[in-house]
Amino acid sequence: MKLLWTIAASAALLTACQQNESNILAQVGEEMLTVNDVLIRMPLTCTGDDSVNFVQHSVNQWINEQLLYQQGLRSLPDLEQIEREVAQYRRDLIARTYQAERMAIYSKEVSEAECAEFYEKNKEQFKVHEPILRAIMLKVPANTTQIRQLKEWIKQTNQGNQEQAEQLDKFCQLRAADYDNCLEQWVKARRIMDRLPAKSPTDPRQYLRNQVYQLKDDDFIYLLLINDYCVKGEVKPLDYCMADVYEALILQKQDKFREQLEQDLRDEALRTGLLKLNNKE
């Protein structure tokens, strides 16, 4: 049997290379499985024993499916009901797929202003589950002599001084053992706090905002500035949870979108004459 499938697989590959007409690998009644049917589904990386196994599996699977299908055609008493169910499933699938595509288009029409308005009215939905912050942290060898300059660069970077920020970046790329500037984005507090020396305070509330803190261990000096933070139970900043706000707003407006789509389709069908209503008083 192994030899048979090896020959079949070789024939399939040879047919593909020579681009001959399709050869029949198996036949059940009037239905036929050809070499091309198998090759279309065969991965390009399938070679050697893998190709043999693939052909064997494909042929056996096809035979089983065909035998079950054809026996069902002969044995099942109510094929008309099955055909009706298949037709209904097809209509439902097409309708749902089209509806989903149109809903996606309607969703794109939601503006940032709508999201902001929804956020203001529903802030209780967007609570922080774990502390988040905006901060800058760097770690340099303990023998670094430019600590005062680094502190000044950090302060100026926090104030939006681009030139000083570039100076800080250049220094940290060359000299810092660790560096993370997330002043312009909210991140989970542990992203920063877990990198501080052991026994350092890990609660952002233990640090004053916009102050540079110097921490150290035996080998390194750590500089930390926290621009802002939110702790568990507080409302997330909008720029941190915009994606969540958008998703919640879309979910709320789904019924409205659906009603709009149905009305648009009905109006268009009436306008073009596709839909005719026999309204009798």
The predicted-structure confidence for 196-232, as pLDDT tens digits, reads as follows 999 999 999 999 999 999 999 999 999 999 999 999 9
d(CA 168, CA 164): 6
DSSP secondary structure code for residue 37 in this structure = H
Which residues, 6+ apart, have CB-to-CB distance to 100 below 8 Å?
A: none
pLDDT band at 280; cut points 50, 70, 90: low
Beta strands 31-34; 178-188: pairing state: unpaired
Residue 54 has pLDDT above 80, yes or no: yes
244 with 123, same domain? yes
Q: Which of 78-92, 139-153, 266-280 is modeled with the greatest confidence?
A: 139-153
pLDDT band at 34; cut points 50, 70, 90: confident
Residue 56 has pLDDT above 70, yes or no: yes
Q: Report yes or no: 157 and 168 within 8 Å, Cβ to Cβ.
A: yes
Q: What is the CA 241 to chain-centroid distance, rounded?
A: 16
143 with 221, same domain? yes
Residue 147 lies in a domain: yes
Residue 264 lies in a domain: no
d(CA 215, CA 193): 12
Long-range contact list for 143-147, CB < 8 A, 24+ apart?
Answer: 144/175, 144/221, 146/171, 147/214, 147/221, 147/223
25 with 118, same domain? no
Nearest 5 degrees, angle CA 40-CA 46-CA 52?
90
Tens digits of per-residue pLDDT, 169-199?
999 999 999 999 999 999 999 999 999 999 9
Identify the residue with better confidence: 101 or 107. 101
Which residues, 6+ apart, have CB-to-CB distance to 270 below 8 Å?
A: 277
Comparing C-alpha atoms, which of 247, 280, 271 is closest to residue 263? 271
Helix (H, G, I), strand (E, B) or coil at 198: coil
For position 3, what pLDDT does the model report?
43
66 with 188, same domain? no
101 with 164, same domain? no
Residue 248 has pLDDT above 50, yes or no: yes
Hey, what are 223's tokens? 């500089």
Q: Report yes or no: 21 and 64 within 8 Å, Cβ to Cβ.
A: no
For position 281, what pLDDT does the model report?
47
Q: HSE (CB half, 13 Å, CA atoms) of 62?
A: 20
Which residues, 6+ apart, have CB-to-CB distance to 202 below 8 Å?
A: 189, 190, 193, 194, 196
Q: Which domain holds residue 134?
A: 128-230
Give me the chain's average pLDDT, please. 87
Helices and strands counted in the chain (H then E)? 9, 6
107 with 91, same domain? yes
d(CA 158, CA 165): 8
Residue 4 has pLDDT above 50, yes or no: no
Nearest 5 degrees, angle CA 54-CA 55-CA 57?
65
70 with 92, same domain? no
In percent, the amount of the chain with pLDDT more than 70 equals 91
d(CA 261, CA 210): 50
Assign residue 189 the CATH number of its domain: 3.10.50
Other beta carbons within 10 Å of 29: 10
134 with 224, same domain? yes
Helix (H, G, I), strand (E, B) or coil at 167: helix
State how many domains the chain has. 3
Comparing C-alpha atoms, which of 49, 53, 96, 125 is closest to residue 258? 96
Residue 244 lies in a domain: yes
One-letter amino acid identity for 269?
A
Q: Which of 75-79, 108-112, 207-211 is modeled with the greatest confidence?
A: 207-211
44 with 68, same domain? yes
216 with 250, same domain? no
